[in-house]
Structures are given as structure tokens and as C-alpha cells.
Amino acid sequence: MSDAIIEFDRVSKIYQSGGGPVTALHDVSLSIADGEFIALIGPSGCGKSTLMRLVGDLEQPSAGGLRVRGKTPHQARLDRDYGIVFQSPVLYEWRSIRKNVELPLEIMGQPGPKRHARADELLRLVGLGDFGDAYPHQLSGGMQQRASIARALSFEPAILLMDEPFGALDEITRERMQLELLGIWDGGDQRTTVIFVTHSIPEAVFLADRVVVMSPRPGRVERVVPIDLPRPRSFETREDPRFFALVTEVREGLREH
């Protein structure tokens, strides 16, 4: 694929542990197009987080080739090509919410007034316009995660890596956050490429253009389910018979092996 922004070519990852080598990923080939929303789903130990971290150069593959925007993941990281959101918000507790969102801009050397304005703009975007001066511990889990998403988007990275970002939230907050995330993703001039790791089948189907179903021991890609639900997606999407059909298809993919 010529417009691929991320290209896995027979990538394997083997960890050396006390009980001998453990294969976290085996022979994974996957091509992700620019602007695509990819959900990675699978049981614990299937290597979906590892796959994501390889893209971020937070871990190194043991074998195979991986290109991110035509570069090595290392160079892509140095070029600040991606923003990352973890399962926990990982906000720095001594910084106000605004200062947390500014952190990457600060490190990348943007001048104060400019990054201040940018942080406020993003906080409004994620519905935290009034909370810039608050400290993380004063916010609910959902609000903290919104701030963490704002921080990841602050420097307009081409790729957004999300590692179970809504995993710790209650169901109601979670569904609202999914909708908000799509609103932000759809709203920009140019769609960011998203890799979204999740445990939840409906979440994967609701959000993604393609769901990558993975299986464990060793972690590998079981099947890729294209999601042809129309965009923009809404609360009604979850009541669409096609939604249920796709949820079933992903579930069956998880059951094979």
C-alpha cells in the first residue's frame, strides 16, 4: 500500500524472561493507511499493547521491519510524529491541567503565550475550558483522561496511540467519551491516524475503520474486520443491526484459535 503511514512487515517480539523466551508477537504484517482509525482487540497477553509500543519506539522489535511515515520508529519518535494516551491519565500532579496540556509544547520549545493559547483551545475542545487552573486530583477520572487526550493532541501529531484509554472509566462515561473522541477526530481538517487498543468489542466496532483481532500465545493477527458503519457515528449507531452483525463477527474472530 503506497499511502500506508505505518507498515508492519513480519514483525516479531520476543521477551527474555526467567522461564525462558516468551513470544509476545509472532510474524505480524499489517498496513495502516493515513487517517485511518484502527482498533486492536484481543485477550490479555495477545501483544496488542506491545504492537502499539513498537510503533512508538517504546519497545524494539526482535525481528521484521517496521516503518512509521516511511522512517524507523526511532526517527519518527525523534520527529514527534505521535502522541500517546495511556490507560491511566499520567498527568503530572504538581502541574495545573493547563500546564499539563502545555508540557509537550514546553519540551518542544514553543514560546509561553503561544502554548498557553493552544492549551486553552484544546481544553475547550475536550470540554475542560473552565478547568485550566485546576490540579489533576481535583478532577474526576473521565475529566483527567480528557486532559490527557488534549495533551496528546496539543502538538498536532500525525499519529495518536491510545492504550485502553477508557478502560478505567464506568460504562456511561465511557460511551460518552467514545463519541467525544470521534467528534474531535472527525472535526479537524485532516484526520489523525489512530491506533486504539481496547478490551471491549462494542468500543472497537463503534470507533474504528478496521478492527484488528489478535490472539495470544504467541500474539498474532487473527483477522482484520473492516467496519463499514457510516460516519459520523452517533448514539444511534449502537442500535444499528449492522453494528450488532459486526460485533458478532469480531466476537467470532476472538473465539477462533
Positions touching another protein (CB under 8 A) are 56-58, 77-78, 80, 82-84, 86, 88, 90, 92-96, 103-104, 106-108, 135
Per-residue H/E/C for 159-225: EEEEECCCCCCCHHHHHHHHHHHHHHHHHCCCCCEEEEEECCHHHHHHHCCEEEEEECCCCEEEEEE
What's the rounded Cα separation, in Å, for the pair 192 and 195?
Answer: 10
CA distances 167 to 53, 164, 210, 228, Å, are 17, 5, 20, 25
CB of 132 to another protein, least distance (A): 14
Instruction: Considering the complex, state which of residue 92 and residue 235 has its C-beta at the smaller distance from another protein.
Output: 92
Instruction: Considering the complex, state which of residue 138 and residue 248 has its C-beta at the smaller distance from another protein.
Output: 138
Q: Give the residue among 6, 158, 12, 1 at the shortest CA–CA distance from 67.
A: 6
Instruction: Considering the complex, state which of residue 196 and residue 206 has its C-beta at the smaller distance from another protein.
Output: 196
Instruction: Considering the complex, state which of residue 53 and residue 220 has its C-beta at the smaller distance from another protein.
Output: 53
84: left (phi over 0), alpha (psi -120 to 50) or beta: beta
CB of 118 to another protein, least distance (A): 15
CB of 13 to another protein, least distance (A): 16
Instruction: Considering the complex, state which of residue 80 and residue 191 has its C-beta at the smaller distance from another protein.
Output: 80
Lookup: cell for 45: 497477553
CB of 225 to another protein, least distance (A): 28
CB of 193 to another protein, least distance (A): 15
H helix and E strand count, the chain: 8, 9
What's the rounded Cα separation, in Å, for the pair 185 and 151?
Answer: 14
CB of 106 to another protein, least distance (A): 7
Lookup: cell for 243: 453494528
Instruction: Considering the complex, state which of residue 40 and residue 105 has its C-beta at the smaller distance from another protein.
Output: 105
